[in-house]
C-alpha cells in the first residue's frame, strides 16, 4: 500500500499497489504544462482517504479525461485517463517516499499526436 498527498496535506490517497508501474511523461497540452511524471493504477486501487471535498475536477475539450487537483494548494494529484478510463494516472511526485530521480526509465508518450482532440 502506497500513500499519496498533495502539498498542503488536505488530500490523501491510498494506492493499493506494491510498486509504481507504467511510468511516463506526455506532451499533450495539459501534461506538458503540468510537467508531471505519472504511473498507472486501476480505478479500484485508488481510495481517497482524506480531502474528497478539497479535490477539484478539471476537464476540457472531449471531457473524457478527468484531472484532479487540491483546491487549497493547487497540486495535481491524479487523473482518470482518456486512453484507458479503467485507470488513474498518479502524480508520482505526490507519493510518499518516491523521488522522480529513482525512476530513470520513463516512457515518453506522444499525446500531442495520439490525442489531437485534446491539444
Residue 52 backbone dihedrals phi, psi, to 5 degrees: -50, -40
CA 43 to chain centre: 12
SS3 (DSSP) at 101: helix
Lowest mean pLDDT: which of 6-10, 50-54, 105-109? Answer: 105-109
Q: How far apart are CA 44 and CA 102, in angstroms?
A: 26
Whole-number Å distance between alpha carbons of 118 and 3: 30
For the entire predicted model, the pTM comes to 0.86
- Cβ–Cβ under 8 Å, residues 55 and 14: no
pLDDT tens for each residue of 10-42: 999 999 999 999 999 888 889 889 989 999 999
Closest CA relative to residue 74, chosen from 58, 92, 97, 62: 58
* Distance from the Cα of residue 81 to its chain's centroid: 9
Is the CB of residue 40 less than 8 Å from the CB of residue 87?
yes
End-to-end CA separation in angstroms for the chain:
34
The hierarchical CATH code for the domain 2-118 is 2.170.150.70
Domain boundaries, the chain: 2-118
pLDDT, tens only, 67-98: 999 999 999 999 999 989 999 999 999 999 99
Amino acid at each position: 500500500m502506497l500513500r499519496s498527498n498533495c502539498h498542503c496535506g488536505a488530500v490523501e490517497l491510498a494506492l493499493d499497489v506494491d510498486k509504481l508501474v507504467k511510468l511516463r511523461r506526455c506532451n499533450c497540452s495539459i501534461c506538458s504544462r503540468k510537467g508531471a511524471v505519472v504511473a498507472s493504477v486501476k480505478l479500484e486501487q485508488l481510495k481517497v482517504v482524506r480531502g474528497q471535498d478539497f479535490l477539484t475536477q478539471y476537464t476540457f475539450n472531449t471531457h473524457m479525461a478527468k484531472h484532479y487537483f487540491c483546491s487549497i494548494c493547487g497540486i495535481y494529484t491524479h487523473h482518470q485517463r482518456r486512453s484507458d478510463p479503467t485507470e488513474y494516472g498518479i502524480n508520482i511526485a505526490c507519493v510518499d517516499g518516491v523521488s522522480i530521480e529513482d525512476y530513470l526509465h520513463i516512457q515518453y508518450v506522444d499525446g500531442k499526436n495520439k490525442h489531437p482532440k485534446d491539444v
